[in-house]
């Protein structure tokens, strides 16, 4: 796996330089199907940020690997009945706040616990029914509403998933939609776009965080 990591980093670097030498890009390794030994192999290869899409998996893996200074991200769909458990795990970043209602549910629980949580607003930029996220036309308004009404949920920027198609122009278009929204947001720092099959397109559209799983083990 370590050599796959180096190959992916080289591809990220090539795409980064083509976009801008000043761009800084964070790699989050998506470890949802991995064994603890595979996570540790990448950790010893220099990878520090890992992402899970189920609360129970994040809990079990973070507890088993508690002695290592791993930065855990949550990237999956959020069920309201799992919010309390997710807050207790204190992920570095939640990528998938997909509505004002979800944000308000977090705010209620965070305020009660006296905690804050960094998060991203998920945009359904491809407008696919199978994907979660807010409509692009409503995204800025919702983002500002969350900032106003949910002070314990610290919005750091946006996340989106590229269009589910082999057409690279359609994938690029979906990323460009999210980037244009991102550029209008006050104090936004994180643009989380791109997975194993399309991260180079995402970087060309301004992504500064990529979420890669299968490319790191295949």
10 vs 100: CA distance, rounded Å: 38
pLDDT value of residue 218: 76
pLDDT value of residue 155: 98
**Runs of H (alpha helix) within 79-167:** 83-89, 100-113, 136-149
Q: Which residues pair with 91 in a beta bridge?
A: none
CA angle 124, 25, 39 (to 5 degrees): 90
pLDDT value of residue 168: 94
Question: What are the structural domains of the chain?
Answer: 2-216 (3.20.20.10)
Greatest mean pLDDT range, 123-127, 184-188, 204-208: 204-208
118-133 average pLDDT score? 90
| pLDDT tens profile 82-114 | 999 999 999 999 999 999 999 999 999 999 999
| pLDDT tens profile 43-82 | 999 999 999 999 999 999 999 999 999 999 999 999 999 9
pLDDT value of residue 126: 82
- CB burial class (10 A; 0-12, 13-18, 19+) of residue 74? buried
pLDDT value of residue 21: 94
5 vs 121: CA distance, rounded Å: 28
């Amino acid at each position: 796996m370590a050599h796959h990591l180096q190959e992916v980093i080289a591809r990220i670097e090539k795409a980064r330089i083509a976009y801008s030498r000043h761009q800084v890009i964070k790699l989050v390794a998506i470890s949802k199907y991995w064994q603890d030994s595979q996570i540790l192999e990448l950790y010893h290869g220099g990878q520090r940020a890992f992402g899970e899409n189920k609360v129970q998996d994040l809990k079990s893996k973070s507890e088993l690997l508690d002695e290592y200074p791993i930065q855990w991200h949550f990237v999956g769909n959020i069920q309201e009945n799992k919010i309390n458990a997710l807050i207790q795990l204190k992920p570095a970043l939640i990528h998938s706040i997909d509505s004002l209602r979800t944000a308000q549910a977090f705010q209620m629980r965070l305020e009660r616990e006296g905690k804050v949580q960094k998060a991203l607003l998920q945009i359904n930029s491809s407008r696919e029914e199978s994907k979660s996220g807010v409509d692009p036309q409503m995204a800025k308004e919702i983002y500002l509403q969350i900032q106003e009404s949910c002070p314990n949920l610290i919005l750091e920027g946006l996340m989106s998933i590229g269009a589910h198609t082999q057409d690279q122009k359609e994938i690029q278009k979906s990323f460009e939609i999210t980037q244009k929204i991102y550029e209008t947001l006050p104090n936004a720092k994180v643009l989380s776009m791109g997975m194993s099959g399309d991260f180079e397109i995402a970087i060309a559209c301004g992504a500064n965080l990529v979420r890669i799983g299968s490319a790191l083990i295949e």
